[in-house]
Amino acid sequence: MPRALITGISGQDGSYLSELLLDKGYEVHGVVRRSAIENPHHELWRLPRESLDQITLHVGDLESYPSLQSCVRKSQPDEIYHLAACSFVSYSMEEEFSTLNVNLTGTHHLLSAIKQWAPESRFYFAGSSEMFGNAIQSPQNEQTPFNPRSVYGISKLAGFHLVRNFRERHGLKTSTGILFNHESPRRGFQFVTRKITSYAARIKLGLADSLELGNLDAERDWGHSRDYVKAMWMMLQESEPDDYVVATGVSRTVRMFCEKAFARVGLDYREFVKTNDSLFRVAETTPLLGDATKAKENLGWEAESCFDEMVVEMVDSDLAALSK
């Protein structure tokens, strides 16, 4: 039975990935912060009970090398999926030091622990389309020069170089997925998609009367988290480690997302959505749009979920949760 260790298992992607790996017969280990063990109902809400019962949790924090070293040593993984990060781009501007510490130094801690305790394992690093930032071309692929515009993007780009350096210098089997935005009913509420679907549901139920957003014309290439965790797994099944862009190849505006989400509850978003200048990003990226040809050709990966169905799934899930 293959053994996998997932950092960030309590997050959106960690929850879908753990379900995928359990379905494939893996022994799944997860790194969580102490607060999750102390308050599982609140902190581990994304992990279904039946998954949680089969997962071995280890207490670890990216900011602590000894804790990560202990997680790797105790779990002896064949595959490591490093998903934990400060992942909200706007916070990364206010929390520069902790973002760099968690996303870059934390990745360094983990790589060093792997070099010592699991040098034969395969390692996945959660890179991001934010590494492209103010890209000079669209769509972006593995050859597109990186030009990050946020501290988050800088931390992920530095992490990407470190991961590649451990591959070249120490022979570790490390791969990076450069993933474009992916969403689901398990998305955090601060991200724009979940903010929109939860407010569409609240407004429908009379629990709120308006929604404030920033730039409605910002464009993103939105896929479904369930599809994207499959790409992570596929990367680690390859004989040689490599880096891949994972995206749908279709970009949409925040406005289009609002239109679909509010239409699902029979409302016209124009009557409820207001813009607030303070929610605009000072340094917005070039419209992020990914070209996942390499992932398609080498891994046989393609996005399966349809955008409209994903929006409906998210709105319906929020409606159901709020109606309880």
Residues that bind ligand NAP (CB under 6 A): 8, 10-14, 33, 36, 43, 61-63, 83-87, 102, 126, 128, 179, 181-182, 188
218 binds, options ligand NAP, ligand GDD, none, Cβ within 5 to 8 A by partner type: ligand GDD
- Known active-site residue 128: yes
Residues 122 and 173: beta-carbon distance below 8 Å: yes
User: CA-CA distance, 66 to 151, in Å (whole number)?
Assistant: 26
User: CA-CA distance, 212 to 202, in Å (whole number)?
Assistant: 13
Q: Smallest distance from the beta carbon of 207 to ligand NAP, in angstroms?
A: 24
Angle at 151 between CA 145 and CA 157, to 5 degrees: 35
Structure tokens at 117: 């305790």
- Known active-site residue 199: no
Q: Which is nearer to ligand GDD, 104 or 254 (CB)?
A: 254
The neighbour count for residue 297, using CB atoms within 10 Å, is 9
Instruction: Give contact residues for ligand GDD (rule: CB under 6 A).
Output: 87, 89, 128-130, 180-181, 190-193, 195, 213-215, 218, 220, 254, 279, 281, 284, 288
Closest CA to 16 of 28, 1, 34: 28
User: CA-CA distance, 68 to 8, in Å (whole number)?
Assistant: 12
CB environment 203-227: b (16+ within 10 A), e (fewer): bbeeeeeebebbbbebbbbbbbbbb
Residues 226 and 16: beta-carbon distance below 8 Å: yes
Q: Smallest distance from the beta carbon of 24 to ligand GDD, in angstroms?
A: 25
Catalytic residue among 16, 26, 81, 152: 152
Q: Which is nearer to ligand NAP, 8 or 148 (CB)?
A: 8
> Helix, strand, or coil here: 53?
coil
119 binds, options ligand GDD, ligand NAP, none, Cβ within 5 to 8 A by partner type: none
Catalytic residue among 128, 129, 198, 251: 128
- Known active-site residue 130: yes
Q: Which is nearer to ligand NAP, 85 or 295 (CB)?
A: 85
Note the maximum CA span of the chain: 58
Q: How many residues does the chain have?
A: 324
Angle at 115 between CA 111 and CA 121, to 5 degrees: 90
Instruction: Name the closest residue to ligand NAP (Cβ).
Output: 11
User: Which DSSP symbol is given to 269?
Assistant: G
Catalytic residue among 19, 27, 130, 259: 130
12 binds, options ligand GDD, ligand NAP, none, Cβ within 5 to 8 A by partner type: ligand NAP
215 binds, options ligand GDD, ligand NAP, none, Cβ within 5 to 8 A by partner type: ligand GDD
Q: How many helices (H) and strands (E) does the chain have?
A: 14, 13
Q: Which is nearer to ligand NAP, 190 or 276 (CB)?
A: 190
Q: Which is nearer to ligand NAP, 80 or 86 (CB)?
A: 86
Q: Which is nearer to ligand GDD, 51 or 150 (CB)?
A: 150
Residues 213 and 275: beta-carbon distance below 8 Å: yes
Give the residue numbers annotated as catalytic, written as ranges. 128, 130, 152
